[in-house]
Structure 1
Amino acid sequence: MLKQNLQQKLLQKLSPQQIQFIKLLQVPTVSLDTRIKEELEENPALEDLSLTNMTEPEEQYPDRDPDEDTYNGDDEGSSDEFNIDDYLQEDNVNDYGSRYDQNGEDEDERKEIPIAVQSSFFENLQAQLDLLPLSDKDFRIGQQIIGSLDDDGYLRRSITSLTDDLAFSQNVMAEDDEVEEMLKVIQEFDPPGVGARTLQECLLIQLRKKDQNDPIIKKAINVVEHYLDEFTRKHYDKLEKSLNMDSEELRGVVNEILKLNPKPGDSNEVNTKQMQVIPDFHIINNDGVLILTLNAKNAPELRVSRSYQDMFEHYDKAAQKDKKLKEAVQFVKQKLDSAKWFIDAIKQRQQTLLKTMNAIMQYQYDFFLTGDEKSLKPMILKDIADKIGMDISTVSRVANSKYVQTEHGTFLLKSFFSEAIQMESGEEVSNKEVKKILEEHIGKEDKRHPLADEKLTEILKDSGYNIARRTVAKYREQMNIPVARLRKEL
């Protein structure tokens, strides 16, 4: 039986403006310029003063307050004559800022900025394949192999799978032996080790390209071929007995193997994968007084287009008489509102960033003065959220993607947050302090007899830090420090 009920519900929904602010808050400084350019391209009613580089005589707008907000910024002289079609077509313009050249030069006269070009890993392999005198069939097999490599340079697919792919997708009927032979050709390419199917094969390919008359190379090949498991587990005592080598000789073999690249596919991509870090904040120590500033890139000079405002007023009046212009008026109004919302979101972003960072700076004042990690206080997201009167999620968005530059280095804000550890004296300290002490003791240990987690726990307890062995293991893993057995050296 169907029934109709009338119910009242209280729902919490985010407005489009709030969603826009949240998204902008998460954007780091290094990506903010790109985000602003996207908005400038999408909305012709939004302008960037740094792009226009144009001024306007004050007498053109005599009633304008010189101290008015950027929302009411001026543009080049406007007149009462408009062509609405010109503005409706502006959405198709690729870059609304491109019409303004900072040097006053013509578009044709502007000098192009050279862009560094670097071949990718796969392009490099393809170029080497192109130089070989191959039959059409072998060439297509080679292309299929190169296209099947992963980013590390390994071939993770079976020969049979490659043969099937060639038959179904390339219409190339090849035998497994033919694909295997072509794989051997690819494995001779640079960087050494490319095309391997396992780590062992990757290391052997590299070693066999070295001087085979060198006794160290011969022994290294023997270790990788027959004792790789013992090597990776650092069971050096077993290796010495099995290979009848002394410590000095084994050290030379181990060092030779450690020089090899376990991920040859990364060799050409190292520089391109590093993300550029631009600090969002700067903290200066002025004779014991900390001064916080926001990176200028976070405060762009945005404004609403004066010409769009004038055009809206002009056509709004005309639309009262002509119904055909109502759609045009609605379009212009939408663009103006969108521009104002974006500027509001940028301003709110600036205020939130400064308020959050200032609270963190005050909370960790001693650290920013000294740079000593042991002076970091226990601090969680709720501490800062309560201090600035904002939600924990807002603080989290700021902390997870923003950096601050100090005289002691550049830090991710997230690194200042830590849990509390209670000492035997009852005092609470940051777990960062415990991690720092662990790092120092591990750094000073005898690598021939590294400190086990049990021994590290005893050392911390002797210093007044009453924590369990499993907690020591957790902190060690968080710092990407391996267990004692894997830290052992000859």
Structure 2
Amino acid sequence: MLKQNLQQKLLQKLSPQQIQFIKLLQVPTVSLDTRIKEELEENPALEDMSLTNMSEPDELYPDRDPDEDNYNSDDDQSGDEFNIDDYLQDDSVADYGSKYDQNGDDEEERKEMPIAIQSSFFENLQSQLDLLPLSDKDFKIGQQIIGSLDDDGYLRRPLTSLTDDLAFSQNVMAEDEEVEDMLKVIQTFDPAGVGARTLQECLLIQLRKKEADPIIKKAMNVVEHYLDEFTRKHYDKLERSLNMNSEELRAVVGEILKLNPKPGDSNEVNTKQMQVIPDFHIANNDGVLILTLNSKNAPELRVSRSYQDMFEHYDKASQKDKKLKEAVQFVKQKLDSAKWFIDAIKQRQQTLLKTMNAIMHYQYDFFLTGDERNLRPMILKDIADKIMMDISTVSRVANSKYVQTEHGTFLLKSFFSEAIQTESGEEVSNKEVKKILEDHIGREDKRHPLADEKLTDILKDAGYNIARRTVAKYREQMNIPVARLRKEL
């Protein structure tokens, strides 16, 4: 039985402009210039004042009389004439909001990243294969092996899978033994350890390439027969099993630690870290903190006056045919898009400054001293309430922006932390607890590192009543291994 009824629902739907602003807010300073250049290329009605000799933009001075500028369109428009007929034939031109189709696809998300022109790990292996005097069959087997390596340089697939691939995709009938023989050839390539199937095999390949002195031989023995004890740092057991003293074992361990467990990473382009450009600067002027926004966040943008004049000219035309109406609509769309983008950039600046100013005042003592013990417990809601904005807005600012201070450059996210109550009832940041843990672990005797239980007792003696599992959680958040793995000879 069918039944009709009316139902009211509250739905929150973001407009294309709101979505674009959210994306713009998330963009860090290092990427903002690229984003602005993209907009300038897409919208000829938007101009960058820093690249022209134009006067100050009207958009920055909304109350100014345009006549005061003494603007002469002939002064700076020569050689840059705009013919609207050139645009009327371009059916691909769309307005700002049309980037969002009904399926919600975003063209920006589909843009491919540029690839650096540099010899890759796989190209390096292929070039070494090309130099060998091989039969066509062995060459194809070698290519198949190289193509089957993962990014770490390991062959994780069984040899039978490679023989099947050779048979079905390249019509090459090979036996597993032939594939393994070619694998041994590739394992002689640089970087050392490439083509290994396990960590143990990877380390042994590298050790076999070294000069076989007594220490190397003992290192090979450890990797081949006692790798589990080595990775677990059971050094006492290794000394007894191998009949070695501490000095000999230290030399053996040192040789193994020099080896590369991931040879595929050694020539990758993407291992370079992105340069950090601070979005904010905080200066200390005799105890008074001064906050400034990176100037790259405040580009000199304006709406093209030639486009404004063109719109007024065509809009006032006494007779409008279909072509002219399309021209007017096109120019209006570009003008609206340019004005919106300029407003969005200004709103981004205001939101960034408002958020950072609230964080600076909340953590004033830390920015004055640089001492992490002065960090106050602070969550996203604390800042959101102060600036009367949504928590998600604060999160987008904090997750991708950096501030430069006299004590270093910090990600805003690092200033947020949970509160912990001491025995005296005082609330402190968990950053303070983590700092204490880090200091004690840094000073520990590495032959007898502090277990989590001992660290818990140390914190309790200092007035922090924290459970052992919480200590373990903080230690893991700081990427510090358990005591057994911190042990050194």
Tell whether the structures are fold-level matches, with TM greater than 0.5.
Answer: yes
Report the counterpart of residue 53 of structure 1 in structure 2. Answer: 53
Residue 59 of structure 1 aligns to a residue in which SS?
helix
Judge conservation of contact 1:51–1:102 (CA < 8 Å) in 2: no
Greater mean alpha carbon deviation, residues 343-352 or residues 73-82: 73-82
Per the alignment, residue 81 of structure 2 pairs with 81
Contact kept? 1:49, 1:303, Cα under 8 Å: yes
Q: CA deviation at 1:363?
A: 0.7
Unaligned 5+ runs, structure 1:
none
Query: Is this contact kept in 1: 2:95–2:333, CA < 8 A?
Result: no
Worse-superposed segment, 237-246 or 323-332: 323-332
Change (3 A) 1:425 1:85: same
Distance in 2 of aligned mates of 1:462 and 1:37: 57
User: Do 1:200 and 1:228's aligned partners in 2 also have CA atoms closer than 8 Å?
Assistant: yes
Tell me by how many angstroms 1:332 deviates: 1.6
Q: CA RMSD in A?
A: 6.9
Tell me if structure 1 keeps the 8 A contact 2:100–2:106.
no
* Partner in structure 1 of residue 143 of structure 2: 143
State which drifts further: 327-336 or 108-117: 108-117
Instruction: Report deviation, 1:269.
Output: 2.4
Displacement after TM superposition at 1:240 (Å): 0.8
SS at match of 1:116: coil
- Aligned residues of 1:281 and 1:292 also touching (Cα < 8 A): yes
SS at match of 1:193: coil
How far off is 1:336 after superposition? Answer: 1.4
In structure 2, distance between residues paired with 1:330 and 1:115:
38
Q: In 1, Cα distance between the equivalents of 2:231 and 2:106?
A: 63
SS at match of 2:283: strand
After superposition, the Cα gap between the structure-2 partners of 1:382 and 1:101, relative to the gap in structure 1 and judged at 3 Å, is closer
Mapped partners of 1:367, 1:57: distance in 2 = 39
Q: Which stretch of structure 1 is more off in the superposition, 177-186 or 446-455?
A: 177-186
Greater Cα offset, 102-111 or 286-295 = 102-111
Name the TM-score, length of structure 2 as normaliser: 0.89
Identity in percent = 91
Q: Give the distance between the partners of 2:258 and 2:160, measured in 1 at CA.
A: 33
What is the deviation of 1:141?
1.5
User: Per-residue deviation at 1:328?
Assistant: 2.1
**Distance verdict in 2 for CA 1:202–1:95, change over 3 Å:** farther
1:25 corresponds in structure 2 to 25
Shift of 1:395: 0.3
Deviation of 1:272 (Å): 4.2
Following superposition, the deviation at residue 434 of structure 1 comes to: 0.3
User: Structure 2: where are the runs of 5+ without partners?
Assistant: none
Mean alpha-carbon deviation: is it higher for 113-122 or for 8-17? 113-122
SS, match of residue 85 in structure 1: helix
Say whether the 8 Å CA contact 2:118–2:269 is kept in structure 1: no
Q: State the distance in 2 between where 1:107 and 1:231 align.
A: 50
CA contact (8 A) 1:44 1:96 kept: no
Residue-by-residue CA offset, 1:70-112 (whole Å, 9 max, x unaligned):
9999993389996322244689899999999999999999999
Alpha-carbon offset, residue 170 of structure 1: 2.0
The CA distance in 1 between the partners of 2:385 and 2:306, in whole Å, is 44
* Cα distance in 1, alignment partners of residues 77 and 105 from structure 2: 20
CA offsets, 1:425-471, max 9 Å, x none? 11010000000000000000001111111111111111111111111
Name the CA shift for 1:113/1:162 in 2 (closer, same or farther; >3 Å): closer
SS, match of residue 34 in structure 1:
helix
What is the CA-CA distance between 1:323 and the residue it aligns to? 3.2
Q: Compared with structure 1, are the counterparts of its residues 157 and 468 closer, same or farther at alpha carbon in structure 2 (3 Å cutoff)?
A: same
The equivalent of 2:449 in structure 1 is 450
Comparing 70-79 with 390-399, greater Cα deviation is found at 70-79
Flag the 1:141–1:375 CA change in 2: closer, same or farther, 3 A.
same
CA contact (8 A) 1:43 1:339 kept: yes
Q: How far 1:322 moved relative to its partner? A: 2.0
- Of 420-429 and 302-311, deviating more is 302-311
Between 1:416-425 and 1:37-46, the stretch displaced more is 37-46
* Conserved? CA contact 1:319–1:325, under 8 Å: no
The CA deviation at 1:171 is: 2.2
Do the aligned residues in 2 keep the contact of 1:41 with 1:95 (CA within 8 Å)?
no
CA 1:264–1:477: 2 relative to 1, 3 Å: same
Quote how far apart the aligned CAs of 1:267 are. 1.0
How many Å apart are 1:318 and its aligned residue? 3.1
Contact 1:60 1:77 in 2 (8 A): no
* TM superposition shift of 1:413: 0.3
C-alpha change, 1:382 and 1:115, in structure 2 (3 Å) is closer
8 Å CA contact 1:424–1:464 kept in 2: the answer is: yes
Q: Distance in 2 between matches of 1:146 and 1:124?
A: 10
Q: 1:230 to 1:108 in 2, by over 3 A?
A: closer
- Judging changes above 3 Å, is the alpha-carbon distance between structure 1 residues 326 and 2 closer, same or farther for their aligned structure 2 residues? farther
* Cα separation, partners in 2 of 1:146 and 1:271, compared to 1, 3 Å: same
Aligned mates of 1:390, 1:61 — CA distance in 2: 27
Distance in 2 between residues matched to 1:349 and 1:59, nearest whole Å? 16
Greater shift in the superposed pair: 256-265 or 158-167: 158-167
Conserved in 2, the CA contact under 8 Å of 1:52 and 1:101?
no
Q: 1:453 to 1:393 in 2, by over 3 A?
A: same
* Equivalent residues, number: 489
Contact 1:29 1:297 (8 Å CA) reproduced: yes
Distance 1:12 1:97 in 2: 19
What's the CA shift string for 1:345-391, capped at 9, x where partnerless? 11111100011001101111111111111111100001100111101
2:4 and 2:99 map into 1 onto residues whose CA distance is: 59
CA-CA distance at 1:5 after TM superposition: 4.5
Q: CA deviation at 1:262?
A: 0.6
> Could you say if the C-alpha distance between residues 332 and 297 of structure 1 is closer, same or farther in structure 2, counting changes exceeding 3 Å?
same
1:184 Cα deviation after fit: 0.9
Deviation at 1:31, TM superposition (A): 1.2
Q: Is the 8 A contact 2:58 2:302 kept in 1?
A: no
Distance 1:362 1:312, change over 3 A: same
